[in-house]
Amino acid sequence: MPRLSDSMEQGTIVRWIAKDREPVQRGDPLAEIETDKASVVYEADHGGVLERVASEGDTLPVGALIAHLLEEGEQAPSDAAPREHAPREPEPRDGREPPEPEPRDGRETPAVEAQEHEEQEQARGDGGARRRSSPLARRLASEAGIALSQIQGSGPGGRIVKADVQQAMQRAQEDEGGRVAPRPSPIKGEAETVQLTRTQELIARRMAEAKATIPEFTLQSEVDMEAAVAVRDQLKVIAQERATAAPSFNDLIVKACALALRRHPKANGTYRDGAFHLHSAVNIGIAVATAEALLVPVIRDADRLSIWEIASESRRLAGAVRDRSITPPQLSGGTFSVSNLGMYGVEAFTAVINPPQAAILAVGAVSQRAVVHDGELAARHGMTVTLSCDHRILYGADAAEFLGFIKDLLAQPLRLLV
């Protein structure tokens, strides 16, 4: 299993693209692998004859054997056979998923060799024989009302994995001519079970981890955007002359955050193992929603980019997310995040910190509001921003100064253009 992102600890083989025991050339696609960031097509490092070891649906740690690339006529080494005790999928406890391993800020971490013993399931009606199965497979089978004794495992050593249960569910659906679903509730009616993708499972785990482990506090402030609106109108004119897209309000916000992070390095840091880790690069993640999930591509070295470069990069990354061409490196290495729901008319909200980052800025809509300006009541463009902070590294005064600097930059947007 290759390491396809800096925080990847395990991957799931979604499907094999290359056929078993057939030759492939260097660069040929071998398999689609779902990581903690996205689904990626893994290509052959060199030519040879592919001999699969792992099956579709298997979740394995980085470094685990998934296939051989053999020379013509070469036999797979006997000592490289898959282990009988395959690594198990994370076991839920009390209905909660275990926390995802913490990203290492761009540094690769050693692959953790699976040493946990194989859990065994007592299947009903199989004469007392024990069937090896993953926790996820057992949960799916239980929800679908399928006995494990009726399923043939395709994993190493005959282990029953998620794909085996899904195939059994499909067969049951075809046999019964209906949809396999949990028993209907007399009050709630029938319920359709929608299994999360690996990306959705990761988001769920990391958000639960963030709320459970980070001592969070929030600051909220109103930003005077009257000058920013005027500057953006001028940028639209320039963009028409250049035949390019004009920077958005979010691009101005990203630039302001980047400069503020350079001025306040603790906001660009990480708390880990009783120490502050202050990052030299200012890499800002921008939350992009898709139909299936929320992904956060990263604008690298945002403090060194012009507002036009930020606008170009943010559009390129958002487009890659939406057409599913985004790569794990483009989703890795963020040191701070911006989440903007202003385009949906949301005035204010609180975003969940993306661990191990120190903070995230939630941005509301830019709209006209009644304010007191120069001693008089006036209608001016404003915007509400909410900063969520990890109190282990950012204290109240630090966070207030950081947020105040962002406000000053947005209120005087010409400082963002020089």
Determine the number of helices (DSSP H) and then strands (DSSP E) in the chain: 7, 20
Q: Please tell me whether residues 125 and 245 are part of one structural domain.
A: no
Task: Look at residue 114 in the predicted model and tell me its pLDDT.
Answer: 32
Task: Look at residue 282 in the predicted model and tell me its pLDDT.
Answer: 97
| pLDDT tens, per residue, the chain with 418 residues | 988 776 678 888 888 999 998 899 988 889 988 876 677 888 888 888 999 999 988 888 888 999 998 887 777 776 544 443 344 444 444 444 444 444 444 333 333 333 333 333 333 334 434 567 777 777 778 777 788 877 888 776 677 888 888 888 777 766 655 444 555 556 777 778 888 877 788 788 888 888 889 999 999 999 999 999 999 999 999 999 999 999 999 999 999 999 999 999 999 999 988 899 999 999 999 999 887 788 999 999 999 999 999 999 999 999 999 888 888 889 989 999 999 999 999 999 999 999 899 999 999 999 999 999 889 999 999 999 999 999 999 999 999 999 999 999 999 999 999 8
Indicate whether 193 belongs to any domain: no
**Positions marked active-site:** 391
Domain hosting 310: range is 214-416
Indicate whether 90 belongs to any domain: no
Indicate whether 63 belongs to any domain: no
Task: Look at residue 128 in the predicted model and tell me its pLDDT.
Answer: 39
CATH code, 284: 3.30.559.10
Query: Residue 112 has which token pair?
Result: 């953790």
Indicate whether 141 belongs to any domain: yes
Q: Return the residue matching tokens 């239980």.
A: 142
> SS3 for 379?
strand
CATH code, 164: 4.10.320.10
Distance CA 86, CA 157 (A): 8
- Taking Cα atoms as reference points, which of 333, 363, 355 lies closest to residue 251? 363
Task: Look at residue 16 in the predicted model and tell me its pLDDT.
Answer: 93
Q: Please tell me whether residues 261 and 328 are part of one structural domain.
A: yes
Q: Please tell me whether residues 157 and 218 are part of one structural domain.
A: no
Q: Please tell me whether residues 259 and 124 are part of one structural domain.
A: no
The DSSP code for 375 is T
CA 342, 327, 60, 120 torsion-angle sign:
positive
Task: Look at residue 123 in the predicted model and tell me its pLDDT.
Answer: 38
Indicate whether 102 belongs to any domain: no
Q: Where are the alpha helices (DSSP H) in 177-284?
A: 198-213, 226-242, 249-263
How many domains, the chain?
A: 2
